[in-house]
Structures are given as structure tokens and as C-alpha cells.
Structure 1
Amino acid sequence: MPNQHCPLCQSNTRFFCQDKLRAYWQCQNCTLVFADRNALLSAQDELKQYQLHNNDLNDLGYRQFLQRLAQPLQQHLATPALSGLDYGCGPGPLLAKMLQQQGHTMAIWDPFFAADDKVLSQQYDFITCSEAIEHFIQPAIEWQKWQDLLKPKGVLAIMTKRYTCLEAFQNWHYKTDPTHVSFFSEQTFRFLADRDGYKLHFPTNDVVIMQRTKD
């Protein structure tokens, strides 16, 4: 059965809850909650959902939203001009543009909108992932890619809303998006940090900055 093992750490899982859309399971080790893998959208339907998003590069509101990630990231970078990869940039790579304006050299990658795998053949000083990690069907594979792409002492900057408990999750609007399939808690990020050697910072309830400590 596809739901018996966690798609992030491969540990055993347990049924978490059910809503009108689908069922959810929780990992008994890293606490990742994930949507029923039998209820996933096809790639074509997933793309249709993303094409409904309005990620206008000139939208000041969208820029302010992304500052929630860009500002704390900048505080954790050692020098003002570094190499970065915006992973899961979507159709409007505004975050990469903002970081370029701050002096960084940016690459972008997205499976639907910027699938140039050449950018995945080098390493980066930092990787950003804004409102994309919750879309990962196989987060273990994506996470391992990041370990290969990130330089020693590099920084991961992730924006995704974190769930807190079952009661809150049951009424959570975030899970009603059918493309949201993997849900992280603070404990999930602590598990990854402890396992793979990162220092953690939680500047807001939807941003985590992870500083690599392993050489």
C-alpha cells in the first residue's frame, strides 16, 4: 500500500484524518502528514491548477509576500553576492529576480515552468523554495537533490505553512488545495536538521532557514 511508509523518511505511518477531498496519513517518526497517494492529481490536472495562479512579477503584494522569505534569508548569508537556486519557482520567478537585485547570481528550476536540468548539475551557496515543498509527491527524492546541490555551510530557505496538531489540521484551509500533498510541522524540520546536520531558524510560522553545518 502506498500510504504505509512515509514519503520523506520511509518510516511507518498511521491514519491521521479524512475530509471531503481525501484521507491523510502521518509519519510516526518525522511527523510529516501526507495526502492519500491514491488521490493525487494527474500531472496534466496539476499543471492546470498552477496555471490558475496569478504570480505577476509587477505585483507589489506578491513582492511583499516573498519578502517574508527573502529578508530572513539575507540575514543568514555570509556575503552579499552568492550563487542561489530558486527550486520550484513557478510561472513567475519573482523571488529569483528580487535576489538578483540584491546582488546574487540566481538560477531557477521548476518541473513545469523551468525544467532545465543543467542547473541541477552544479552546487549553490543557497537554495530557496517558496510555497513549493508542500507540492512534493516524493519529498525524500527532492530533499536528497538539495543535499547534492547545496555547498558545505550552505543555506536552505523554505516557505510553507506548518501544521501544528490534528484539531487545527482538520479545519485548515491550506490542505484544501488539491496540489498540496505533503505537510510539514516544526518537528519535521527538526528531524531533518538533526539527521542531516543543519542549524534551524524559524523567523515566522511559515518560514524556516536551515544553515548547513556539515562540511
Structure 2
Amino acid sequence: MKFLLCPLCHSDDNQLYCRDVRRDYLHCRCCDLVFVPPADQLSPVAEKAQYDLHCNDPADERYRAFLGRLFEPLRLLLPATACGLDYGSGPGPTLSSMLAECGHAMALYDPFYAPDPTVLRRTYDFITCTEVAEHFRQPLEEFERLWSLLRPGGILGLMTRLREAGQDFAGWYYKKDPTHICFYSRTSFAWLARQFGARLELHGADVILLHRP
């Protein structure tokens, strides 16, 4: 049985993957994305109410250590003069502070907490997007926007928990957050890398680096 178009690759080759008491989850057999259909997604108002519950403190060492999973491999690749954009910076921007401490000029964008459209009219040596991609309603359009802001030779650094083959998706903690609506696998990002002609670099279960030629 066919459903909606996949929001990542726009294929119609997707089928019901899982269903719980709150929503359905569809699986795209083209790019391996699992996604929540629009009818089951939160409204923007309800979505922001969930984000307002987050307590992301830039001084919290545990939170900084969590972000260090992207920060450490990324900083080793950046020249001292590289400037970046923290896309989806949230209510307590922290990774941008860590990178600024290393001397990198940072811009912030968040549709709820830092909705400054002027930063989306510039280009950057690197872009970070931590615990954000799983919230994208239209991931292909979002990734295309980010790619267009990235200078040649730049890096798009992402953190999002990857779905593993054979895992217990029904009981997976990551799907229980009502704001999480896209669940990527390594195959999903391999598909995206091919679309962009990017070099894909994976670190652990949740760090993705896309290198622009």
C-alpha cells in the first residue's frame, strides 16, 4: 500500500512501518527515511511549547560533553579563520559558544528563538545543525537551503540519532519525543550525499559530516 511522498527523496515508494497510540510512521524504500505523516505532526504552537521545556544551559558541562561528539571532529577540520552558522540554535545556544571560544565567528538562526533572516543571505565555511534534522517537516528543502549557504570546501555538521537496522523501533526512546518526525539511517545520508555530490563522514551513532567539494 502506497502512502504520501517521502519528504526527503520525494519517492512514493513508502509503506507503513510502525503505529502507536499517537501517530503512524512511514518507511521510504528509496532513501530509507522513516517519517511521521503531516496529519500526525504537532502544530507549530504545540511544537514550540515542547521546545520551551528544554533547559539547554551553555554552562552545563554534561551538555557541552554531549555536543562534543560533533564539536571534536569538526574543530579539527576547521581553519582558524573559518566562520560558521549554528542552524536551529535553540533557546540556549551552546555549540556556537564552544566554537566561538576557539576563535570562530558564529551566526545563529532558529525559526522560534533567533528568527533573523539576514543570516540566511550570507555564506559560511561551516554550518552546524545539532538535534534539529529530526524536526524538519520538509528535510530536502531544509538541506538544500543549508547546502546553498555553504561555501566550496565547506562542511555541514549534523547531530541526529541514526536509526539502526534491526533495532526495536517501536520501543526506541528517540521516537517518543512528539517533535521528532524524521528518522534517518546511514543509507538516508548516503542518498543525500549522492544528491549533493558530497563526501560523507560518519562518527558513531549520531554525528554526520557532509563535505562540499
TM range (shorter): over 0.9
Gaps in structure 1 of 5+ consecutive residues = none
Distance 1:41 1:203 in 2: 30
Is the CA contact (8 Å cut-off) linking 2:58 and 2:92 kept in structure 1?
Answer: yes
Q: Does 1:106 align with 2:106?
A: yes
Distance 1:68 1:181 in 2: 22
Deviations 1:109-142 (A, max 9, x none): 0000000000000110000000011000111111
Instruction: Assess, with a 3 A threshold, how the Cα gap between structure 1 residues 48 and 93 changes in structure 2: closer, same or farther.
Output: same
- CA shift, 1:202, in A, is 1.1
Distance 2:3 2:81 in 1: 43
- CA shift, 1:166, in A, is 5.5
Instruction: Tell me the secondary structure at the aligned position of residue 127 of structure 1.
Output: strand
Aligned counterpart, 1:59: 60
Instruction: Tell me the secondary structure at the aligned position of residue 14 of structure 1.
Output: strand
Q: Does 1:88 align with 2:88?
A: yes
Q: Does 1:128 align with 2:120?
A: no
* 1:1-215 equivalent positions in 2, closer than 5 A: 3-12=3-12, 13-77=14-78, 79-165=79-165, 167-213=167-213
Is the CA contact (8 Å cut-off) linking 1:21 and 1:176 kept in structure 2?
Answer: no
Q: Which amino acid counterpart does residue 15 of structure 2 have in structure 1?
A: R
Deviations 1:172-214 (A, max 9, x none): 110010000011100000011112111111121110111112x
Instruction: Assess, with a 3 A threshold, how the Cα gap between structure 1 residues 3 and 125 changes in structure 2: closer, same or farther.
Output: farther
Gaps in structure 2 of 5+ consecutive residues = none
User: TM-score, normalized by length of structure 1?
Assistant: 0.95
CA-atom RMSD in angstroms: 1.3
- CA shift, 1:16, in A, is 1.0
Number of residue equivalences: 211
Instruction: Tell me the secondary structure at the aligned position of residue 91 of structure 2.
Output: coil
Deviant stretches of 4+, over 3 Å: none
Instruction: Tell me the secondary structure at the aligned position of residue 22 of structure 2.
Output: coil
Distance 1:46 1:4 in 2: 22
User: TM-score, normalized by length of structure 2?
Assistant: 0.95
Is the CA contact (8 Å cut-off) linking 1:69 and 1:157 kept in structure 2?
Answer: yes
- CA shift, 1:34, in A, is 0.4
